[in-house]
Amino acid sequence: MSARILVVDDIEANVRLLEAKLTAEYYEVLTASDGPTALAMAAAERPDIVLLDVMMPGMDGFSVCRRLKDDPETRHVPVVLVTALDGRADRVAGLEAGADDFLTKPIDDVMLLARVRSLTRLKAVIDELREREASGRRMGVIAGAASRLGGSGGRILIIDDNVRQAQRVCTELAIEHRPVIETDYDKALLSARGPVDLAIVNAGAKAFDGLRFCAQLRSDEATRGLPILAVVDFDERQRVVKALEIGVNDILARPIDPGELAARAKTQIRRKRYTEYLRNNLDHSLELAVTDQLTGLHNRRYMQGQLEALMRRAAAGGDPVALLVIDIDHFKRINDSFGHDVGDEVLREFAVRLASNVRAIDLPVRHGGEEFVVVMPDTSLEDARRIAERIRLHVAGSPFRVMGGEELLSVTISIGVAAGAGGEDSSQALLKRADEAVYEAKSRGRNRVIARAA
């Protein structure tokens, strides 16, 4: 997977070395020699990853990282700080500034590429969700802001057979989070499927294979998006690389530094919440796009796609398709006499009665206003007419309770029925016949079913 990588360093030789290594792996490389230029390029070029030197004159890497993470347009871009420093205070400072990881000079090529590949996968997922969310915003079906999402109060599962180490981690995290320790492999897999924000796994566990556990989390759909923080001895270079390759989100070096643990946990939880925010907004926007919000039935847009697919199948020799077009009689009179709130109550109650009187394979739809449609796969004209009559009798036979049960309204409906078996028939022609039939039903006194053959 290729990516655009912004390399920021005030020393030309360092920039050229990183550029050569990354270009050889088919990454597109952008370069900057100072903090202000890096910020401008990040905003204009939208890189996938920023490799950022810490020690730069003027604006250092910590300040640049903080500015990138404070900007809504760039806060989702992974930042890797590149430094000759290897002290605890510098790592914690970088993590608190929003950095995703560190690379220590001289840079290990294998570690560099493993980390870049890992962050590229993460960025690709977030980019897709952001793009879909942006489409939802343009449609007007997504609102809200992700800036309020924090990284505290997380539900953390600690998977470790080293009880003393696990307890130390648990005690440190309990200051801000809700950690739970699990030492059994199978029980931990089950627990991870629950409401968990972060899994911290001892990759060097003796009682079980920690990396295999991480791989199973990634292969299970229920836990695929769960962030994993692997505890690894950094001198076990091959294990670190393997952990990143199988999808571990972050690495924590042993012996564990409490400040670094807290900072890395907070970063992963914040990112998970941001991803969930995007994904939930996407699910909500898709639901709004195909659902009528008043009645809960599918809407006209969804119906058109389903009906056209069924008609194509019928035209290719598949089962016939029937259609009911239903109009609530004298609905304007209800609105004029009782108000639109009562009219909405009638629409909602009718939707419930309609949905409870059709088959599981049928598709009840609010077509618009007081008009409803039922798409009926594998249904003949006569069968559809019988079902329509059952719906009509159910509606007319029991008054609608409105205004908190204070009023009873007698409601009737007129139904037009049509069926098509393919050939020259189209979804538009089928809908037109059913529409003409409902108009005939209304002209003949309402509260009746009229069926129209092709």
**Which DSSP string do the residues of 38-77 spell out, in sequence order?**
HHHHHHHH--SEEEEES--SSS-HHHHHHHHHHSTTTTTS
Same domain, 281 and 304: no
The count of other CB atoms within 10 Å of the CB of residue 286 is 13
Whether residue 292 lies inside any domain: the answer is no
Are residues 243 and 323 located together in one domain of the fold?
A: no
Q: Nearest-CA neighbor of 35 among 58, 1, 17?
A: 58
Phi-psi region of 58 (alpha: psi -120 to 50; beta: other; left: phi over 0): left
Contact 1, 124 (CB under 8 A): yes
The verdict on residue 294 lying in a domain is: no
Give me the CATH number covering residue 200: 3.40.50.2300
Please check whether residue 133 lies inside any domain of the structure: no
Residues 392, 443: one domain?
yes
Amino acid at 342: V
Q: Say if residue 431 is in the same domain as residue 311.
A: yes
Whether 171 is in a domain gets the answer yes
Note whether residue 250 is domain-resident: yes
86 and 157, same domain (yes or no): no
d(CA 257, CA 176): 16
- Counting the structural domains of the chain, the total is 3
Helix pair 340-356, 331-338: axis angle to 10 deg: 140
Task: Name the pairing type of β-strands 155-159 and 79-83.
Answer: unpaired
- Residue 227 has a pLDDT of 93
Q: Do residues 327 and 434 share a domain?
A: yes
In the block, residue with structure tokens 């239903």: 326
Q: Note whether 382 and 239 are same-domain residues.
A: no
- Are β-strands 407-409 and 400-402 bridged in parallel, bridged antiparallel, or unpaired? antiparallel
Q: Which amino acid is at 324?
A: L
Within 8 A by CB and 6+ apart from 82, the residues are 9, 14, 18, 51, 52, 53, 54, 61, 102, 103, 105, 107
Say whether pTM exceeds 0.85: no
Question: Per residue in 307-317, is it b (16+ CB within 10 Å) or e — as a string?
Answer: beebbeebbee
298: which strand partners? 291, 365
Whether residue 273 is found in the same domain as residue 310: no
Look up the CATH number of the domain holding residue 429: 3.30.70.270
Task: Say if residue 316 is in the same domain as residue 388.
Answer: yes
Q: Is residue 131 part of a domain?
A: no
Residues 257 and 306 reside in one and the same domain: no
Residue 77's domain comprises: 1-107
Q: Supply the residues annotated as catalytic.
A: 370
Last residue of a domain, one of 60, 91, 107: 107
Per-residue pLDDT of the chain (454 residues; tens, 9 = 90+): 578 999 999 999 999 999 999 999 999 999 999 999 999 999 999 999 999 999 999 899 999 999 999 998 898 899 999 887 666 677 788 888 888 888 888 888 888 888 888 888 878 777 766 665 555 554 444 444 444 456 778 899 999 999 999 999 999 999 999 999 999 999 999 999 988 999 999 999 999 999 999 999 999 999 998 999 999 987 888 898 899 889 999 888 888 989 889 988 988 898 888 877 777 665 555 556 678 889 988 888 888 888 888 888 888 777 889 999 999 999 999 999 999 999 999 999 999 999 988 988 899 999 999 999 999 998 999 999 999 999 999 999 999 988 887 889 999 999 999 998 766 678 888 999 999 999 999 999 999 999 998 7
User: Which of 53, 86, 107 is a domain's end point?
Assistant: 107
Q: Is residue 95 domain-shared with residue 196, that is, in the same domain? A: no
